[in-house]
Amino acid sequence: MSSLLRLLPIIAFVVSGVRAQMGCVAGAICTIQHPRDYNTGYAQQFSPTVSGTATTPVSSPPPSNAVRYWFPFGDSYTTTGFDPSGHLALPTVGNPLGNPPFPGFTGGGGENFVGFDTITYNKSTILTYNYAYVCTKPLSENHRLAGAETGLLRTYAYGGATINGTLVAPYLPTVLSLIDQVHEFLAGAGTKPVTSPWTSANSLFTVWIGINDLGNSFSEPGDRSAFSDLLLEEYFTQVQELVRRLQAFRVSTSRLFSPSLKIVANSAVGGKNFLFINVPPMERTPLMIAGQNATGLALLKSVILTYNSKLATKVVSFKANNTGVKTWLWDAHTEFNTILDNPTQYGFVDAVSFGNTGDFWGNNYHPSSPAHQIFAQQISALMAGTPWF
Ligand SMILES: *[C@@H]1O[C@H](CO)[C@@H](O)[C@H](O)[C@H]1NC(C)=O
Ligand SMILES: *[C@@H]1O[C@H](CO)[C@@H](O)[C@H](O)[C@H]1NC(C)=O
Ligand SMILES: *[C@@H]1O[C@H](CO)[C@@H](O)[C@H](O)[C@H]1NC(C)=O
Ligand SMILES: *[C@@H]1O[C@H](CO)[C@@H](O)[C@H](O)[C@H]1NC(C)=O
């Protein structure tokens, strides 16, 4: 059963694959030529003139109207197909999401909440480094598994990221987990190279993960509640890295290179602003409605509710553990239900159709771009008055 379930999203994507393929310009994302490799380190991948920038002091503080930074992590609900390796365009003023061409490659097709929040609901210029998983590693392997017949780079649409790929396997083994994404960030933009001199104060970290973890595991035997505890423990181990590992990194480089840097280190190191997003009611996706009986749907619903309640507790605990850290929790679960209970009020045809103009669902597992626009608006309202919105 569970292996069948893991195959279903692949079928789902093939349905929407035409649009995907059309937007898929060779070399645009998965970069066969330059596979993402977080082990080699980000700085090395830059040209010689900027190599070693990890140890360069953060230059003068940005002016008050300077750019802000956003580092999203997650799955196909968040990805825009960004490749952060530095081989393709990084975010800049004028191209705030970097590669690939706007709106990027998204789970439901078209602009997603990351795009809308970066360029429409923003109250400053936000440079967005979207670490949410796309595709990676040997693309040939992706292709073999996906049975892709033609086209180089269709795999971006497969999403499927989980928190820990060993704990819950994504349906393609090449998918970058949250753990992978955080490692990639720490070796990449986390080193504050000259291309992205972010600070604690001007950077926002977002995590929207868990959708595939629960979707791929809810019908497994064993205590689901205990499993959610385990998932969330690993989740917050990674989030904690974004606060502490960066601090440790900064302090150690300052000892090596300049005592004065220590002062900088204390005021402008790790992540301080965190937006968490919980798991939507996946039992209402067309994919699950078609693939599960009533018992399965009810089970998925209850597993998600338990997970979300534990997530909320974790967010409070994370904040309490880290002085100076600010947290927000966007309750996607409630917002999805509100819209799906009254779809026409929000301009949608109904709660279950997908793939056509006016549908809430862009395909059978992902919201459409108009739905994402509502999410983006709600997120910006939740965070109104912050440096970003
Ligand atoms: C929002 O972002 C866009 C794209 O970077 C930028 O042109 C615009 O000025 C920003 N809006 C505000 C209010 O800063
Ligand atoms: C991922 O999960 C596996 C299996 O439970 C575990 O052995 C491993 O330590 C986890 N990885 C991390 C980084 O937490
Ligand atoms: C419903 O689906 C589950 C798998 O999710 C299966 O174990 C169960 O037998 C099914 N129940 C009925 C009544 O068909
Ligand atoms: C907060 O710290 C306590 C004590 O070290 C730890 O048990 C708990 O897991 C931490 N919470 C989070 C969300 O990391």
- Mean pLDDT on 149-170: 62
Ligand that comes closest to the CA of residue 232: 4
- Mean pLDDT on 274-281: 98
Cβ neighbours of residue 206 closer than 8 Å, sequence gap 6 or more: 70, 71, 72, 73, 74, 78, 274, 275, 276, 277
Across 146-160, 182-196, 198-212, 295-309, least confident range: 146-160
**Closest approach atom of ligand 1 to CA 96:** 5
Choice from 293, 299, 301, 303 to test ligand 3 binding pocket (greatest atom count within 8 A of CB)? 293
pLDDT for the residue 144? 37
Q: Is the CB of 123 under 6 A from ligand 1?
A: yes
Nearest alpha carbon, ligand 1 atom 6: 125
Q: Is the CB of 92 under 6 A from ligand 1?
A: no
- Mean pLDDT of all residues belonging to the chain: 78
| pTM metric for this prediction | 0.80
User: Cα 57 from chain centroid?
Assistant: 28
Taking a C-beta distance cutoff of 8 angstroms, is the pair 284, 353 a contact? no
**Closest approach atom of ligand 3 to CA 219:** 5
Nearest alpha carbon, ligand 1 atom 8: 125
Rounded distance, CA 327 to CA 275, Å?
Answer: 6
**Closest approach atom of ligand 4 to CA 232:** 13
pLDDT digits (tens, 9 = 90+) for 61-115: 444 458 999 999 999 999 998 998 888 999 999 999 999 999 998 999 999 999 9
Q: What percent of the chain has pLDDT over 70?
A: 70
- Whose tokens are 């499927």? That residue is 160
- Give the distance (Å) from ligand 4 centre to CA of residue 243: 13
The first and second tokens of residue 29, run together, are: 């994302």
pLDDT for the residue 303? 98
pLDDT for the residue 20? 30
- Residue 253 pLDDT > 90: no
- Residue 388 pLDDT > 50: yes
Taking a C-beta distance cutoff of 8 angstroms, is the pair 153, 29 a contact? yes
- Give the distance (Å) from ligand 1 centre to CA of residue 118: 8
Across 163-172, 179-188, 229-238, 314-323, least confident range: 163-172
CB hemisphere CA count around 164 (13 angstroms):
13
Across 37-46, 211-220, 317-326, 353-362, least confident range: 37-46
The first and second tokens of residue 292, run together, are: 């599960």
**Closest approach atom of ligand 3 to CA 296:** 5
Number of DSSP helices (H) and strands (E) in the chain, helices first: 12, 5
Nearest alpha carbon, ligand 1 atom 1: 119
Predicted confidence band at 278 (pLDDT cuts at 50, 70, 90)?
A: very high
Taking a C-beta distance cutoff of 8 angstroms, is the pair 194, 379 a contact? no
Helix pair 178-187, 224-257: axis angle to 10 deg: 10
Q: Please, what is the Cα angle at 16 between 160 and 302, to 5 degrees?
A: 45
Predicted confidence band at 232 (pLDDT cuts at 50, 70, 90)?
A: very high
Other CB atoms within a 10 A radius of the CB of residue 150 amount to: 7
Ligand that comes closest to the CA of residue 1: 3
In a 10 Å sphere around its CB, with 0-12 CB exposed, 13-18 middle and 19+ buried, how is residue 14 labelled?
Answer: middle
- Residue 236 pLDDT > 50: yes
Which amino acid type is present at position 365?
Answer: Y
pLDDT for the residue 17? 29
Nearest alpha carbon, ligand 1 atom 4: 119
- Whose tokens are 């009533």? That residue is 294
Sign, CA dihedral 286-290-294-300, equals: negative
Q: 325 or 65: which carries more pLDDT confidence?
A: 325
DSSP H or E run through 205: strand 203-208
pLDDT for the residue 359? 98
Rounded distance, CA 375 to CA 382, Å?
Answer: 10
pLDDT for the residue 87? 87
Q: Is the CB of 274 under 6 A from ligand 4?
A: no
